[in-house]
Homo-oligomer: A and B are copies of this chain.
């Protein structure tokens, strides 16, 4: 007996999902048991990339959720509202939900998860992070035996495309962004991507799954690539690094006596050594590196966006729901792995208390002894340095780049302030985290 699927949205991803469901040949046989029963669109008159019978299309998303023939609700409309309300409406009706909406899950995930747990339905989100890359399910189901140490990823394709081109061509951020917009790789309003908000949404989701408890999206320190200068990308390359917009969620010690796990979660441009597994991830591709005990380092790589990849992830979730229905029928219990119920509380540590390596570029007067003064000043502040190089000088000013060893952020900032006060130092021109 076919399982009825209702689709909220028929944009790029929605059309991709409809394309898979209506051409089951050669796919897993469960796909043939799924039937598209109703599709909500904003403008039913608009032409679509996929042909569907006219009677399936309607303009009322609530009618899709409420339709008794719709047993699984697929939300691919995006945005916070009405997506959130529709997801909650489906849950209230006891219908499992599949969504590709990272913004709504990152911001309202706790509310949605609580409603889903109370009603005993699944809300699956494979498509919300990493496009077609299976990452949510491996985190939920394949790595549960591990203590996860760190999840780090390149999880925004637009910024990775821009950074890859900046590195390849030595081009300026603004020029590549304009070209990316022309080519459709960046949106007309690129803020969500280039300022890091999209990556922060996604790392909030990954951290919640990896560490078993919701992470406050609002508390994640987020820095984008929009102030990154071409010269820092070039200097990084000279020193054996590539610059990537990295989203990181790292465990700080074990859970405390009250069961709260401290985490360092953040998004920022980061220097990666060229032999780091994430360093070779270029263009619009995404990759997520999971480090755990005892698995070690595993990485998941692939297309981070696009109709086909994202639809593949949405259909994976639909299939999971269809598959598990054969275990115990609609009234059965939830698989705690698939449901990904939270089992721990997580708290973000204050940024000043976290430790990292750093890349700093100083602009200084071009005179003998400045390198020594900077080195000495770092040393006096207790900041250990890996390398210090003068990379360029022009008309009286010099560029000095320092790579530090791991140092607590507060101590590092104190050292920077002290160095900036030296008369030979014109300015701290750039400061980037380094792996």
A interface residues (Cβ-Cβ under 8 A, vs B): 16, 19-20, 25-31, 126, 132-134, 137-138, 141-147, 212, 254-255, 277, 280, 292-303, 306-309, 311-316, 318-320, 323-324, 326-329, 332-338, 343
Contacts and interface: CB of A to CB of B under 8 A. Distances in A.
A239 B297 CA distance: 31
A343 B25 CA distance: 12
A145 B327 contact: no
A323 B323 CA distance: 14
A320 B141 contact: yes
A28 B343 contact: yes
Given A138-B138, A327-B334, A343-B28, A294 B312 contact: yes
B27 A146 contact: yes
9 contacts: A28-B212, A145-B311, A145-B316, A294-B309, A295-B303, A295-B313, A323-B336, A326-B336, A327-B333
A294 B320 contact: no
Q: How many copies of this chain does one complex carry? A: 2
Given A26-B255, A144-B315, A324-B324, 19 more contacts: A29-B343, A30-B336, A30-B337, A31-B144, A134-B134, A134-B298, A137-B142, A142-B316, A143-B312, A292-B312, A293-B308, A295-B312, A298-B300, A298-B302, A299-B302, A319-B337, A326-B333, A326-B336, A327-B334
Contacts of A302: 295-299
Given A145-B312, A337-B323, A301 B298 contact: yes
Contact of A297 (B31, B254, B296, B303): B303
A298 B126 CA distance: 14
Nearest to A31: B145
A307 B332 CA distance: 36
Contacts of A255: 26
B336 A27 contact: no
Given A142-B313, A312-B146, A133 B294 contact: no
Contacts of A332: 327-328, 332
Given A294-B16, A295-B303, A296-B306, A319 B141 contact: yes
Contact of A142 (B126, B294, B335): B126
B309 A132 contact: no
Contacts of A212: 28-29
A210 to B, nearest CB: 10
Contacts of A337: 28, 30, 319-320, 323
A134 B145 contact: no
Closest A-B pairs by Cβ, 7 of them: A328-B328, A294-B308, A145-B315, A298-B302, A134-B142, A28-B144, A295-B312
B323 A338 contact: yes
A356 B326 CA distance: 42
A19 B301 CA distance: 30
Contacts of A303: 295-298
Contacts of A327: 324, 327-328, 332-335
Contacts of A134: 134, 138, 142-143, 298
A18 to B, nearest CB: 12
A144 B298 CA distance: 22
A134 B136 CA distance: 12
